[in-house]
Amino acid sequence: MVSAAEQLAANLNFGALAKAEELKKRIWFTVGALLVYRLGTYIPLPGIDPSAWQQIFNSQAGGILGMFNMFSGGGINRMAIFALNIMPYISASIIIQLMTTVSPKLEALKKEGESGRKIMNQYTRYLTVVLAAFQSYGIAIGLQGTGSVVSEPGYFFLISTTITLTGGTLFLMWLGEQITARGIGNGISLIILAGIVAELPSAIAGTLELGRQGALSTGLILLVIVMAVAVIAFIVFIERAQRRLLIQYPKRQVGNRMFEGQSSHLPLKLNTSGVIPPIFASSLLLLPTTVANFNAGQGPEWFTTMTTLLGHGRPLFLILYIGLIVFFAFFYTAVVFNPTETADNLKKHGGFIPGIRPGERTAEYIDYVLSRITVVGALYLAIVCLIPEMLIAYAAVPFYFGGTSLLIVVSVTMDTVAQIQGYLLAHQYEGLIKRSKLRGRQR
Q: Mean pLDDT per segment of 10 residues, for the chain of length 443 residues?
A: 42 57 86 93 87 79 67 82 87 82 80 79 91 87 80 87 93 92 87 84 77 77 81 87 84 63 82 82 69 56 68 76 88 85 84 84 90 91 80 61 76 86 73 62 60
Q: Would 100 be classed as within a structural domain?
A: yes
The pLDDT of residue 144 is 83
Q: Are residues 151 and 267 in the same domain?
A: no
Q: Which of 340, 371, 266 is nearest to 111 (CA)?
A: 340
Q: Are residues 225 and 210 in the same domain?
A: no
Q: Sign of torsion, CA 118 123 126 131?
A: negative
Q: Which of 195, 250, 265 is nearest to 39 (CA)?
A: 195
As a whole number of angstroms, the distance between CA 287 and CA 24 comes to 43
Q: Which amino acid would we find at residue 198? A: A
As a whole number of angstroms, the distance between CA 114 and CA 415 comes to 22
Q: Which burial class, exposed, middle or buried, applies to 87 when counting CB atoms under 10 A from its CB (0-12, 13-18, 19+)?
A: buried
Q: Would 373 be classed as within a structural domain?
A: yes
**Which residue range is the domain that position 122 belongs to?**
23-216
Strands 263-269 and 242-248: antiparallel
Domain count along the chain:
2
Q: Would 387 be classed as within a structural domain?
A: yes
Q: Which of 388, 374, 194, 345 is nearest to 273 (CA)?
A: 374
Q: Would 16 be classed as within a structural domain?
A: no
Q: Which of 168, 200, 216 is the last residue of a domain?
A: 216
Q: Would 403 be classed as within a structural domain?
A: no
Task: For residue 270, give the DSSP letter.
Answer: S
Q: Are residues 39 and 171 in the same domain?
A: yes
Q: Would 236 be classed as within a structural domain?
A: yes
Crossing angle for the helix pair 87-99 and 155-182, nearest 10 degrees?
A: 70
Q: Are residues 206 and 310 in the same domain?
A: no
As a whole number of angstroms, the distance between CA 139 and CA 164 comes to 12
Q: Would 414 be classed as within a structural domain?
A: no
As a whole number of angstroms, the distance between CA 227 and CA 396 comes to 15
Q: Are residues 43 and 100 in the same domain?
A: yes
Q: Are residues 335 and 202 in the same domain?
A: no
Q: Which helix (H) or strand (E) holds 281?
A: helix 276-295
Q: Are residues 244 and 200 in the same domain?
A: no
Q: Which pTM value belongs to this model? A: 0.78
Q: Which of 406, 401, 416 is nearest to 381 (CA)?
A: 406
The pLDDT of residue 5 is 42
The pLDDT of residue 307 is 67
Q: Are residues 88 and 143 in the same domain?
A: yes
Q: Are residues 157 and 202 in the same domain?
A: yes
Give the Cα-Cα-Cα angle 109, 114, 115 (nearest 5 degrees).
Answer: 60
Q: Are residues 205 and 266 in the same domain?
A: no
Q: Are residues 165 and 273 in the same domain?
A: no
Cross-strand bridge partners of residue 248 = 263, 352
* Contact residues for 142 (Cβ-Cβ < 8 A; gap 6+): 294
The pLDDT of residue 400 is 55
Q: Which of 216, 249, 272 is the last residue of a domain?
A: 216
Q: Which of 174, 125, 312, 210 is nearest to 117 (CA)?
A: 125
Q: Would 409 be classed as within a structural domain?
A: no
CATH code where residue 205 lies: 1.10.3370.10
Task: Provide the phi-psi class of 255: left if phi over 0, else alpha when psi is between -120 and 50, else beta.
Answer: left
Give the Cα-Cα-Cα angle 387, 390, 394 (nearest 5 degrees).
Answer: 145
As a whole number of angstroms, the distance between CA 282 and CA 42 comes to 26
Q: Which helix (H) or strand (E) holds 437?
A: helix 403-442
As a whole number of angstroms, the distance between CA 216 and CA 61 comes to 19
As a whole number of angstroms, the distance between CA 358 and CA 194 comes to 45
As a whole number of angstroms, the distance between CA 254 and CA 179 comes to 43
Q: Sign of torsion, CA 290 400 127 281?
A: negative
Q: Which of 216, 235, 262 is the last residue of a domain?
A: 216
Q: Are residues 121 and 154 in the same domain?
A: yes
Give per-residue pLDDT as tens, 139-159.
Answer: 888 888 777 788 888 889 889
